[in-house]
Amino acid sequence: MKAGLKKKIVKEIKVDVDKCTGCRSCELACSAFHAAPRYSSMNPSRSRIRVIMDEVRDVYVPIRAGEYTQAECNGRNIYTIAGKEYSECTFCPASCPSRDYFKEPDSGLPLKCDMCESVPPLPEPMCVQACEFDALTYEEREEEYEEEELKRDEMEIAFESLIKKYGLKQVLQTASRLSKR
């Protein structure tokens, strides 16, 4: 391994839509695992995985919640598959102001798949465990990364959250004040 390179575990859930029956057990399992207290309720609207029906191809498509977007995307198009029109939103994993998907129904806060991180760790994420049809399979693989790359990522994430909270101007003013100390 090259100097400066480190290894990390990348976790993935693969989806085989041909095996999905639309039973929605994954939605129930996810919502139960994330209920407070844990397993105290099951409510698909709180799930970080939702199963969408693709009527054109006659398949169910499980979609996991991804990043939160503060604004609706402006590249949104309608596209046509086999003569039927779809909004790009249909299969998008984002929680976004333009729709209610992947939002906590009581607070409106965005939901995001956290791969069921817990202590002690689960052998497999709950949605995968709940899927009796092998439509969801869990994989872990090792990947090399530059140590510097990770530091940069962490810093960008920290800055982004500060800017969201206090605004760019205030963050820059604070950084300038601190640099003069």
Binding residues for ligand SF4 (CB under 6 A): 20-26, 30, 33, 48-49, 51, 60, 62, 64, 113-116, 125-127, 130-131, 133, 135-136
Q: How far apart are the first and last CA of the chain?
A: 41
Instruction: In angstroms, give the least distance from the CB of 123 to ligand SF4.
Output: 12
Select 30 or 96, whichever has its Cβ closest to ligand SF4.
30
Select 17 or 175, whichever has its Cβ closest to ligand SF4.
17
Question: Which residue from 36, 34, 38 is spatially nearest to 49, judged by alpha carbons?
Answer: 34
The residue type of 92 is C
Select 109 or 155, whichever has its Cβ closest to ligand SF4.
109
Q: How far is CA 20 from CA 47, 115, 162, 178, in A?
A: 17, 19, 41, 55
Instruction: In angstroms, give the least distance from the CB of 154 to ligand SF4.
Output: 22
Q: How far is CA 13 from CA 37, 49, 138, 141, in A?
A: 25, 11, 5, 11
Select 118 or 174, whichever has its Cβ closest to ligand SF4.
118
Instruction: In angstroms, give the least distance from the CB of 15 to ligand SF4.
Output: 7
The residue type of 63 is I
Select 23 or 162, whichever has its Cβ closest to ligand SF4.
23
Residue 10 neighbours by CB under 8 Å, 6+ apart:
140, 141, 142, 143
- Could you give the 3-state DSSP secondary structure of residue 144? strand
Query: For residue 16, which phi and psi values (nearest 5 degrees)?
Result: -115, 95
Residue 141 per-residue DSSP state: E
Instruction: In angstroms, give the least distance from the CB of 179 to ligand SF4.
Output: 40
Instruction: In angstroms, give the least distance from the CB of 110 to ligand SF4.
Output: 13
Question: Whole-angstrom Cα distance, residue 60 to residue 21?
Answer: 7
Select 14 or 151, whichever has its Cβ closest to ligand SF4.
14
Instruction: In angstroms, give the least distance from the CB of 45 to ligand SF4.
Output: 13
